[in-house]
């Protein structure tokens, strides 16, 4: 289930750092405060698989007319801003929707924005084991290694790497088992359909540099897994604003 939110800004422009995911994540967590027990579960616990925790939600980047300020490394949005939030937990979406509707304004970085439109979007019917998807926030997958000196090193993989599809599948299996409390029986594959060097995104969350990829892909697997991933995202760091996708048809891909 998803929320589509359109914000208006009486000041006509809004300036945010290019690495704004943490700001948006903070808005989400803060908006769950009407149910403190649920807020604590999402923020602190989530769904566990071995030593990994999954929050079962994600969110998109901000969509709207914007200009990049290279000196300040900020984005300046002019006009309405569209934002999507998605979760495999209906309660999560309903609580957020109620919170946004009850607030007169929402603080995004240093600007107050006002709710212009809010839509609840049900999961679209999935009738095929192959989906053509477009990333609404970058997808990222990585492996962490220990060097001889004991320091950790993180290696990110791009969509052309054979490890990319494998890591997407392994991550999806863990999230599925953590959420449904049963193993995933099947295979999941992803392949790039239209991904260029311009789709690479290098961003920072807190003090961590993250490499991700936008672009268009084919996602293949059992329909229940595809539906789950539509709501909870693919790849890693979903609750930090990575891995959200929308569905495409063939016409949109070829044009």
No. of H helices and E strands in the chain? Answer: 6, 17
Annotated active-site residue in 29, 30, 114, 120: 29
Annotated active-site residue in 20, 40, 43, 127: 43
* 43 among known catalytic residues: yes
* 94 among known catalytic residues: no
The answer to whether the CB of 244 falls within 8 A of the CB of 59 is yes
Q: What is the DSSP string of 185-240?
A: -S--EEEEEE--GGGEEEEEETTEEEEEE-SEEEEES-HHHHHHHHHH-SSS-GGG
The answer to whether the CB of 220 falls within 8 A of the CB of 130 is yes
Chain Cα centroid distance, residue 55: 11
* Paired tokens of 166: 């494998």
CA separation for the pair 94, 1 (Å, rounded): 9
* Residues carrying an active site annotation: 29, 43
């Amino acid at each position: 289930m998803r929320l589509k939110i359109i914000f208006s800004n009486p000041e006509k422009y809004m300036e945010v750092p290019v690495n704004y995911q943490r700001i948006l994540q903070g808005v989400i967590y803060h908006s769950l405060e009407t149910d403190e027990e649920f807020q604590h579960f999402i923020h602190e616990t989530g769904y566990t698989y071995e030593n990994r925790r999954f929050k079962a939600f994600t969110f998109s980047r901000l969509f709207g007319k914007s200009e990049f300020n290279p000196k300040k490394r900020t984005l300046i949005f002019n006009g309405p801003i569209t934002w999507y939030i998605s979760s495999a937990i209906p309660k999560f979406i309903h609580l957020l929707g109620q919170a946004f509707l009850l607030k007169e304004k929402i603080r995004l970085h240093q600007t107050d924005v006002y709710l212009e439109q809010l839509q609840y979007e049900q999961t679209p019917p999935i009738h095929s084991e192959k989906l053509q998807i477009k990333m609404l926030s970058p997808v990222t997958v990585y492996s962490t290694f220990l060097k001889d000196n004991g320091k950790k090193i993180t290696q990110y993989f791009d969509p052309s790497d054979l490890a990319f599809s494998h890591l997407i599948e392994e991550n999806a299996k863990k999230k599925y088992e953590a959420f449904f409390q049963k193993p995933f029986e099947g295979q999941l594959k992803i392949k790039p359909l239209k991904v260029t060097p311009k789709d690479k995104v290098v961003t920072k969350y807190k003090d961590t540099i993250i490499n991700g990829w936008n672009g268009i892909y084919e996602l293949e697997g059992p329909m229940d897994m595809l539906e789950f991933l539509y709501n909870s995202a693919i790849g890693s760091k979903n609750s930090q604003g990575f891995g959200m996708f929308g569905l495409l048809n063939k016409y949109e891909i070829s044009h």
